[in-house]
Structure 1
Amino acid sequence: MKSPLLHSVIGVLLVFGQISIAKAQKQPQSRPNIIVFLVDDMGWQDTSLPFWTEATALNKRYHTPNMERLAREGMKFTNAYAAPVCTPSRTSMLSGMNAAHHGITNWTSPQRNEPTDAKDDQFLPAEWNYNGLSPQPGIAHTLYATPFPELLKAAGYYTIHVGKAHWASAGTPGANPYNMGFMINISGHAAGHPQSYLGTENYGNIPGKATPQAVPDLEEYFGTETFLTEALTREALKALDEPIRNKQPFYLNMAHYAVHVPLMADKRFYQKYLDAGLDMQEAKYATMIEGMDKSLGDMMDYLKARHVDGNTIIIFMSDNGGLSLAPPRGGPAHTQNAPLKAGKGSVNEGGIREPMIVKWPGITRPSSIANQYVIIEDFFPTLLEMAGVKNYQTIQKIDGKSFVPVLKNAAYTDNQRFLFWHYPNKWIPKDGPGINYCSAIRQGDWKLIYHMRDSSMQLYNLKNDIAENEDLSKKNPEKTTQLLKQLRDQLKNWNAPMPVDKKTGKPIAITSGL
């Protein structure tokens, strides 16, 4: 027989237990923090972490232990893609639209509201959205769209932007991160690269010498030896203190200016690359890679020290392929991303295939590898799904597809999906492999490249020929015709910008072989 005292104790415990259960039922599920760690102009091979089936000489050149660490803790993507240059990728990420659809097909200017195309003898510039992405209607030559940070902020996320923005031209609403849904902005504006990476040069902010590329907001580091990558990292960690302290979910858009030109040596790492036999330009580049990687490691260490690493998603990505112009790169031109062909500005693999890693604690399996192809516009629906944001409304129609199923199952495969790249612009004065006036389409292992100048095309099987050396268009006319028709129809459906033929005064059309 139980005593009255025991009955009383059991009763109290039951009451407290019911109260605790009720409280737990009322509390919302803990939403993950999200960090997108976006690097500028970093190639697929610019890392000691191989993204291919084997390590290469370039993998052995670089030192990125924190990328290796992130891959051990998460999932490595071997077929991740962006656009050939920066602004199209960055606006695709924020809008969820393909560049051919949103019409921001080239980089936007930090100082003027006009096309940035180089002059050409054959074509006049396409009618593209050279003023970039806009959260407000009525701005000429812009895409009016809903940026996903605005949706995250509305859902209760503390939104932070650090580093390069470059979503819109100077003086338009989209150039300011505060207008794009960010509550905190550090150093983001209309410029696409820094005037200087050196604190001793005030990152370009020297009276009488400053250009539109001078990096704002970092006065604390002026006159110091602090490299820009380090300064941005320190400021990002300061910005994370408030949401972590208040237990508010945060989204951090950690967008480094590195490794974009100007190539400048991070002195902390320079001598060892010279000692390794690299020329001065390549040694500078390698130091910028390692400084970027240190930033990633510092961020991971900070999250662990603050006990939030177990509920923080980290996505590592680059906005386009590695620069392969020489100079400023050392060595022969268009070899810096081998075995991939070409580099930044190209629709060949060297210009669009990116290093991507995702760590989602409790979801991604450590050291897993995903071979499913994904593209930068997929970030929009993926990030919102990660954050638990449902039934959201956007001005634009979303082209991206969530890769959450891939994160849950590395073996996930969809070989029927089409990916598109469209560059109807002239990026540099001289054409290069896949550079200037080119489009491309991928389905499964097949990829077709179309050249607008002469309507020529190449067909590659990427599984067997990642270097895109063997043109199979003549051997596989049916596949060539199928992909060309799909590319033509999709560009037409999206009303994609096309260059204007100087002889006819009209935009060109894809007609060859159809």
Structure 2
Amino acid sequence: MTRRIAFLGLLLVAIGGTAVAAESRQPNIVILMVDDLGWNHISASQPTMGTYPEYCRTPHIAKLANDGLSFTHAYAQPNCAPTRAAMLSGQYPARPSNDVYVVGNLNRFGRGGIRKGEAHFRGPEQSEDVAPEAITLAEAMQRNGYATAHIGKYHVGGHRGQQTMPENAGFDINIGGHSQGHQPVCFASEKDGTWQFRNLGLGHFDRFAAPYDADYVRRRGLPESLIGTSKHVSDAVGDAMEETIRTLASGEKPFYLQFHTYAVHGPVRARPDLKEAANASSKKLTEYAGFIAGVDENVGRLRSVLDDPNGDGDSSDSITGSTLILFTSDNGGTHDSNAPLKGVKGMFTEGGIRVPLIACWPGVVPPGTVTDRKVHSVDYYPTCLELAGGEWTPTEEKHPLDGESFASALKQPESAEKRGPVFYLFPGYLDKRARPCVVVIDDIEGKRYKQTYDYETDAWELYCLSDDQGEQQNLIDTERTIAATLSKKIHAWLTQQHPSWQPKYPLETSSGQPAGPPPVLAATRAESR
């Protein structure tokens, strides 16, 4: 009798506690990061605030948003490598274990910007890789009992040799990740009897490069017109993703997977059927729309393999309920306007740094919800650690984290604490798109403000994003109290005391000395005299 009662109790717990079980165990975490996808270049109303252009058709991403939580104010760094470094390290570039401020170097003059001889400053030296001594997010997840994998673009390892490659930075599986910043080709080609994606990384995707055959087309439900044609890189990346998840799902550990697509970085070339189905106003946008559609297909493929990891058509082995998907981009869009946001990739205006973010975890994340909580790339590290149980966390002395966890916002978006200020320090030049500046985004008295200091002009700009997300009306002369408050927050952030806090400032061309933090503003013009 006692055994029957105990069994009945366990059965009731199993029936009634599914969501609790999904939430309490260590979830699998998949971060699907698209390259160069604009904030509103997806046909999902919630994360784009209903502003997406008509040519964007992404039904799988729209369903992800309907099934999950959309963040309308997620922020990244203004271009590829610094975002990936911030995510992997959980740190702003001012930490030596990150030290990645921009792709390449901080003296990228020309192309319509300030000429080198005209600039008042020059950019300091920086790194292109997350430092070997950093405790990466992948390493931290391993210490919390996770299997780890990276697929696709990495960009912040390999410049300094093997020591900074993904397999030496905490990833058990690495397919594609090294120093390369983009795909040189979008289609495979034949050479000496073998098919390959020429000059793409270390050749990891060549085993998926064979032309589409009848079995592949049938299995995926693709048009028969593709049979015998060259494989598209997005499909090869999706093939690698499916293979990897099947491997990880068959193991005993929860897993952390970075699924970082090469799309939609240029060259922008879509699979023929996706391009043909696109409805855009120009040849350029038709290619772009088709390229985005390929990303959307991979979102669908990801959800399908999570629902049926062994691919036998039976979802009894589904891991969907124990997996969190985070869908985002590494910076603002560059192939089309990001309107109503101002600017493009590389700029510190909203169009350069605001990105889509959708979180989906059935049974835990409330479906169809929206939050305007700020999120920055440095927040993924502490969020993943909290969701993993946080049994192991890097110490403040060894590897301090600059981000704030948004784990509570995933589960209770309405009651979660608001995030503190988001900061940017950029001490160099990126052609016409960026020059030395400091930026803060913060909420004051129920409204969201963004303030920027430009070193070249020694001038401030202030915008109320709540009323003016297009950054059209500079309030620096009319909202002096708010401007003064935000300038103090910038100063406090830049001058914080920690051995590993070493912000790099633009160097004055005349003296070679660092410019230092911007001046603190007075609350009134009279006080500043």
- Find the aligned partners of 2:305 and 2:321 in 1 and give their Cα distance: 12
State the shift of 1:513 in Å. Answer: 5.9
Structure 1 counterpart of 2:515: 508
TM-score (normalizing by structure 2): 0.81
Structure 1 counterpart of 2:123: 126
User: Quick one: structure 1 residues 131 and 169, their matched pair in 2 at CA, closer, same or farther if it must change by over 3 Å?
Assistant: farther
Which residue identity does 1:379 align to in structure 2? Y
Of the candidates 163, 183, 203, which is equivalent to residue 194 of structure 1?
A: 183
- Find the aligned partners of 1:176 and 1:221 in 2 and give their Cα distance: 22
Structure 2 counterpart of 1:422: 425
SS in 1 for 2:39: coil
**Unaligned residue ranges in structure 1 (runs of 5+):** 1-9, 22-26, 136-143, 324-328, 331-335
Runs of at least 4 residues off by over 4 Å:
11-21, 51-54, 413-416
Return 285-294 or 91-100, whichever deviates more. Answer: 91-100
Measured against aligned partners, the alpha-carbon deviations of 1:183-237 in whole angstroms (never above 9, x if no partner) come to 00001110111111211378xx999x965x5463112234632211110111111
Of the candidates 499, 503, 506, which is equivalent to residue 506 of structure 2?
A: 499
State the shift of 1:14 in Å. Answer: 7.4
State the shift of 1:94 in Å. Answer: 1.1
SS in 1 for 2:273: coil
User: Quick one: structure 1 residues 415 and 471, their matched pair in 2 at CA, closer, same or farther if it must change by over 3 Å?
Assistant: farther
Of the candidates 157, 160, 164, which is equivalent to residue 168 of structure 1?
A: 157
Q: Do 2:208 and 2:239's aligned partners in 1 also have CA atoms closer than 8 Å?
A: no
Structure 1 counterpart of 2:91: 97
- The answer to whether residue 319 in structure 2 is matched with residue 322 in structure 1 is no
Structure 1 counterpart of 2:373: 372
SS in 2 for 1:61: coil
Percent of residue pairs identical: 28
How do residues 224-373 of structure 1 correspond to structure 2 at under 5 angstroms?
A: 224=211, 225-273=230-278, 276-306=279-309, 307-323=318-334, 329=335, 336-373=337-374
Which residue identity does 1:472 align to in structure 2? L
- Find the aligned partners of 1:284 and 1:298 in 2 and give their Cα distance: 21
- Find the aligned partners of 2:31 and 2:99 in 1 and give their Cα distance: 22
- The answer to whether residue 74 in structure 2 is matched with residue 80 in structure 1 is yes
- Find the aligned partners of 1:460 and 1:218 in 2 and give their Cα distance: 45
Which residue identity does 1:319 align to in structure 2? D
- Find the aligned partners of 1:200 and 1:409 in 2 and give their Cα distance: 49
State the shift of 1:490 in Å. Answer: 1.6
How do residues 103-118 of structure 1 correspond to structure 2 at under 5 angstroms?
A: 104-109=99-104, 117-118=108-109
- Find the aligned partners of 1:292 and 1:79 in 2 and give their Cα distance: 22
Structure 1 counterpart of 2:40: 45
State the shift of 1:53 in Å. Answer: 7.4
Structure 2 counterpart of 1:462: 465
Q: Aligned residues, how many?
A: 467
Q: Do 2:68 and 2:359's aligned partners in 1 also have CA atoms closer than 8 Å?
A: yes
State the shift of 1:123 in Å. Answer: 5.1
User: Quick one: structure 1 residues 210 and 267, their matched pair in 2 at CA, closer, same or farther if it must change by over 3 Å?
Assistant: closer
TM-score (normalizing by structure 1): 0.84
SS in 1 for 2:31: strand
State the shift of 1:413 in Å. Answer: 5.8
Q: Do 2:436 and 2:456's aligned partners in 1 also have CA atoms closer than 8 Å?
A: yes
User: Quick one: structure 1 residues 173 and 480, their matched pair in 2 at CA, closer, same or farther if it must change by over 3 Å?
Assistant: farther
SS in 1 for 2:45: coil
Q: Do 1:317 and 1:356's aligned partners in 2 also have CA atoms closer than 8 Å?
A: yes
Return 185-194 or 95-104, whichever deviates more. Answer: 95-104
Return 467-476 or 99-108, whichever deviates more. Answer: 99-108
Return 359-368 or 76-85, whichever deviates more. Answer: 359-368
- The answer to whether residue 28 in structure 2 is matched with residue 33 in structure 1 is yes
Structure 1 counterpart of 2:436: 437
Which residue identity does 1:508 align to in structure 2? A
Structure 1 counterpart of 2:141: 152
User: Quick one: structure 1 residues 193 and 14, their matched pair in 2 at CA, closer, same or farther if it must change by over 3 Å?
Assistant: same
Report the aligned-residue RMSD: 2.9
SS in 2 for 1:472: coil
